[in-house]
Structure formats: C-alpha cells, structure tokens
Amino acid sequence: MKALFALLLTTLFAGTAVAGPTCNVPPERWMKEAELKARLEAQGYQIKTFKVSKGQCYEIYGFDKAGQKVEIYFDPQTGAVVASR
C-alpha cells in the first residue's frame, strides 16, 4: 500500500515539475514567429525546434552561440526570456 501511494505521489508531482511557464498574452499582441526567430539567429542561436508551449509561450530547442544545448521560453509579445533549462 505504501508503494502504491508513493507511486501515485511521484506521478502527480512529476507532471508538475516538467511543466513550463505560462505567458498570459492575447494572441493578437504576439510578435510574429519569423521576427523572433530572426532576432535569435542574429544573436547566434541555432534553432532546431520553434513552437508554442502548452503555457502559450514561444519555446525553442537548439544551441547557443557557444554550441551549448538550450531550451528557452520567451514572452510572445516582447521576446523576453521567461525561463530556460
């Protein structure tokens, strides 16, 4: 019974731990994806995946100018970083 309870708690909190940030910006105020991609590429990022996260932020997977892997969430209106991993 203890093992089942521990498994249940682990499952519940695992989903919460991997959730990204939430951006509360109406879609009509978002900058164009192409604009943010161009800005990031000019800063030296190599974008492998660019998408809208479940929390309605722009999210990229790729590499920074030093070649390090990045996962970054951006405010879709301003392009400001809201979280990274």
User: Which residues form the domain of 33?
Assistant: 21-84
pLDDT reading at 40 higher than 50: yes
Note whether residue 29 is domain-resident: yes
What's the pLDDT score for residue 30?
A: 98
**Is the predicted pLDDT of residue 61 greater than 90, yes or no?**
yes
Taking a C-beta distance cutoff of 8 angstroms, is the pair 45, 29 a contact?
no
Task: Provide the domain count of the chain.
Answer: 1
Q: Is the pLDDT of residue 15 over 70?
A: no
Query: What pTM value is reported for the model?
Result: 0.78
Q: Which residues contact 47 (CB under 8 A, 6 or more apart)?
A: 37, 40, 41, 60, 61, 62
Whether 13 maps to a domain, the answer reads no
- Give the CATH number of the domain where residue 75 resides: 3.10.450
CB 58 within 8 A of CB 65: no
DSSP assignments along 6-19, one per residue? HHHHHHHHHHHHT-
